[in-house]
Amino acid sequence: MSVRLHPFRLLEPESLTDAVDALGQLDGEARLVAGGTALVAMIRLGLLKPDRLVSLHRVPALGQIGVEGRSLELGAMATHADIERSRVVRDGWPLLAEAARRVATPAIRTSGTIGGNLAYAEAASDPAPALLCLDAEVRVVGRGGERVIPIASFFRGFYEAALEPGEIVTALRVPPPPAGARSGYVKFTSRSAEDKPLVGVAALIALDSSGRCADIRLGLGGAAPTPIRADGAERTLRGETLTDAAAHAAADAAAREADPLSDLMGSASYRREMIRVWVRRLLVALRDGTR
């Protein structure tokens, strides 16, 4: 059976200024399209009926990946495949490369973009927990100029990002991880391994010479209406030796501070238990060097 799409105009600006202007026109509803992996599905389902789509594919520089100073600069149109394959990212920011590699299928990784992923504000995003651990900043631009938003403040609510009307995500700035840090990302799915995570856990730890946690960061996806940092779990470990008991305590703390939702993939109580399991497993694996 064919699907009849709501008719819309497609605009393809060739500069960021023109893109902002096209998005801000007052004649009906406008939506940005980058990779389109989420937007097209929502239009097909009739959940969105935009009057025009503003494509970012012809805006130069939005797909670039490079280093400025010591920080990683990611253009918003960089795809997940671009990120996972980038030697710069793999060498300097392996946690982000690992998370990008776990996104959905190869076809979606090739088309889906990092800016679109964040702007969509999916609670079970794969890259978001890693970017929370890495203290990334999101650069956005609109008619009022440019803003830089710490990623910890970027997710406002369920499918709601901290974007004002007419603003566009243009880039991410990712500081370097601490020297000698160990990091990893794990996702648990109840169906296909290529599905979005029921629970996703990113962790970054830096141990001092005595084996204590000099730095610990935990990012969770699928654990709340938005991706979150598990601040309480981090506090239980900071300055402590990462024993089995300490890993259990941190996992319990992460489960307690989570606020998961129930859906067809799993209940809130099941998600909470999976948070406990996968936080503990990842911390122990990073401690033992088995990841």
CATH number of 182-288: 3.30.390.50
Q: Two tokens at 210?
A: 């005595």
| CATH label, 7-54+62-177, candidates 1.20.140.10, 1.10.260.40, 3.60.15.10, 3.30.465.10 | 3.30.465.10
Instruction: Give one word for 180, left, alpha or beta, with left for phi > 0 and alpha for psi -120 to 50.
Output: left
| pLDDT at residue 27, as a whole number | 83
DSSP string for 58-94: TSTTTT-EEEETTEEEEETT-BHHHHHH-HHHHHH-H
Looking at the chain, the domain(s) classified CATH 3.30.465.10 span 7-54+62-177
| pLDDT at residue 7, as a whole number | 86
- Amino acid identity of residue 275, one-letter, is I
Q: Is 74 within 8 Å of 172 (Cβ atoms)?
A: yes
**In DSSP terms, which residues pair with 44 in a beta bridge?**
none
| pLDDT at residue 3, as a whole number | 58
The model carries a pTM of 0.96
Q: Two tokens at 133?
A: 């651990």
Beta strands in 189-257 (DSSP E): 199-207, 213-221, 228-229
Instruction: Give one word for 69, left, alpha or beta, with left for phi > 0 and alpha for psi -120 to 50.
Output: left
Tell which residue, 260, 240, 254, has the closest CA to residue 282.
254
| pLDDT at residue 2, as a whole number | 52
The tens-digit pLDDT sequence of the chain (291 residues) is: 455 677 899 999 999 999 999 999 878 899 999 999 989 888 988 889 999 999 999 998 899 999 999 999 999 999 999 999 999 999 999 999 999 999 999 999 999 999 999 999 999 999 999 999 999 999 999 999 999 999 999 999 999 999 999 999 999 999 999 999 999 999 999 888 889 999 999 999 999 999 899 999 999 999 999 999 999 999 999 999 999 999 999 999 999 999 999 998 899 999 999 999 999 999 999 999 998
Looking at the chain, the domain(s) classified CATH 3.30.390.50 span 182-288
Q: Which residue has the tokens 């989420």?
A: 38
